[in-house]
Amino acid sequence: MSIAFGGIVAFLFRGMNLFVSLGLLILCSNQLTKDELGTFVLGLTVVGIVNAATGGLTAATGFQVSSRRRLPGLAFSSGGIIGAGLGVVAILVGLTVGAVFAGEAHRESVAVGFACAAVIMASVLAGTLLGRESFVRYNFALVLPPLFSLILIAIAFFGFDKKSPDIALEMYALGQWLAIITLVLVSSKVILEGFGADRAVMNQILRFAAVAGVASGISYLNYRADLFLVDHFKGKEAVGTYSLAVYLGESVWQVSGSLTLATYARLGSCTRSEALALTTRVMRHTVFLIAGLCVVLFFTADIIQELLFPKQDGMAAALRFLLPGVLLYSLAQSYSGFYTWQRGMPWVSAVVAGSGLIIDMILAVILVPRMGINGAALASAIAYSTAIIGGLVVFVRTEHLSPWQIFRFSRADVDDYRSLLGRVRGRLGYSGH
């Protein structure tokens, strides 16, 4: 399948997720005060950290299905036991933290705990579907949770006039669980194939997930940890504004993620040389497409702020500081896919992301007090760039490649787009004359 075509198919689904998440942010940024938005964002950040850390379950479960040739039901049930245990821990932590606070803070902590449990279980289901190459169901696993959460938050805000961060987080958690129940019912045929836990498979998933989870968690912290420094130095109003800039910058990664997603199962089953060729092709497409999107965002940042986030002054400037790093770090997903799915070495991605995290934190401590959210954005951009350039140097040397093999477009790359245009014209009934 053409990388361009497969990537665009995946992007159609991820694009839906992008617009749903954007709708959620627009809704909350316009209905909550700046402080309340900051509180809501920090709650989602905690959920995101847990989601990223347990994203290793996605990789581990998918690896069992695609590379180890386990039956989907066996992988799902074995990973599901681990996920259920972690989910119970997340809920207990939320209840424990909530017991320390009263009022809205109590409800926020409990809601975050239940939301964390939901995303953990979703990780296992998503990995099973991805390893099985059930791309439609997998993409619905990305879209339905935020969609259900958005609908419930809108009902609470407008139907019951309940507008507060604790209500928003509770509706967010409820939406996540309703989505999981729906997805399990829709995917029952897949996840029941060979259903039954196996201790050896559980141990393999646990070991792989622990390493991959560290990699995913560090990667997420690499572009989220500075939110807590912004909160410390500049307060929750600044957190809300900066989080919107980060979200818009990261939105272009839906493209690079879609390209990589189209290759995951193939990376796990092909030879190392084939995987290298596939990975470098994805990197070339990524740079080409992301560069165009970053240019558009750079020049339209003020318009986006005025139209979508009129209360969030300074968001456009922070977004512009982020974009150069966003462009370079878009290569991290294909880089991570190669080492995780082909080499079975997810720790390599953790090293790259960890390096970026350390650089980001050091620079943010220096720059945020002086430059505010622009300092946080600049620190992130430098960290992104430094980390991925270092990772690419290692990739080139260990795999005996030249930089030209990664970034030089070939006839096959151009043919990808010709094939895509041909498919589009064929679907539209255009003869090409």
Crossing angle of helices 3-31 and 253-261, in 10° steps, is 140
Q: Find all residues with CB under 8 Å of 153, minimum gap 6, and list them.
A: 24, 27, 28, 167, 168, 171, 172, 175
Amino acid at 354: G
- pLDDT class for 51, splitting at 50, 70, 90? confident
Rounded CA separation 174/76 (Å): 23
Q: Over the stretch 259-271, which tens digit does the pLDDT of each residue have?
A: 666 565 566 566 7
- pLDDT of amino acid 57: 82
- pLDDT of amino acid 426: 52
- pLDDT class for 81, splitting at 50, 70, 90? very high
- pLDDT of amino acid 267: 64
Q: Over the stretch 236-249, which tens digit does the pLDDT of each residue have?
A: 888 888 988 988 88
- pLDDT class for 418, splitting at 50, 70, 90? low
- pLDDT of amino acid 295: 93
Rounded CA separation 178/370 (Å): 44
- pLDDT of amino acid 320: 95
Rounded CA separation 42/170 (Å): 14
Q: Which of 9-18, 290-299, 423-432 has the lowest mean pLDDT?
A: 423-432
Cβ distance 183 to 137 under 8 Å? yes
Q: Over the stretch 124-180, which tens digit does the pLDDT of each residue have?
A: 888 888 777 676 777 777 788 899 999 999 999 999 999 999 999 999 999 999 999
Amino acid at 355: S
Amino acid at 372: G
What element of type H or E holds 122? helix 104-131
Q: Is pLDDT above 50 for 423?
A: no
Crossing angle of helices 347-371 and 199-222, in 10° steps, is 30
Residue 301's nearest CA partner among 379, 356, 374 is 374
Query: Is the pTM here over 0.85, yes or no?
Result: no
3-state secondary structure string, 356-384?
A: HHHHHHHHHHHHHHHHCHHHHHHHHHHHH
Q: Find all residues with CB under 8 Å of 41, minimum gap 6, and list them.
A: 227, 239, 240, 243
Cβ distance 147 to 182 under 8 Å? no
81/399: higher pLDDT: 81
Q: Name the one residue in this structure whose structure tokens are 């998503």.
A: 126
Q: Over the stretch 332-343, which tens digit does the pLDDT of each residue have?
A: 877 777 776 667
Q: Is pLDDT above 80 for 406?
A: no
- pLDDT of amino acid 151: 95
Amino acid at 96: T
- pLDDT of amino acid 111: 93
Q: What integer best gives the mean pLDDT of the chain?
A: 82
Rounded CA separation 255/252 (Å): 6
- pLDDT class for 376, splitting at 50, 70, 90? very high
21/164: higher pLDDT: 164
Rounded CA separation 342/54 (Å): 20
Rounded CA separation 229/249 (Å): 19
Q: Is pLDDT above 60 for 352?
A: yes
List the end-to-end C-alpha distance of the chain, in Å, as a whole number.
Answer: 26
Q: Is pLDDT above 70 for 390?
A: yes
Cβ distance 193 to 71 under 8 Å? yes
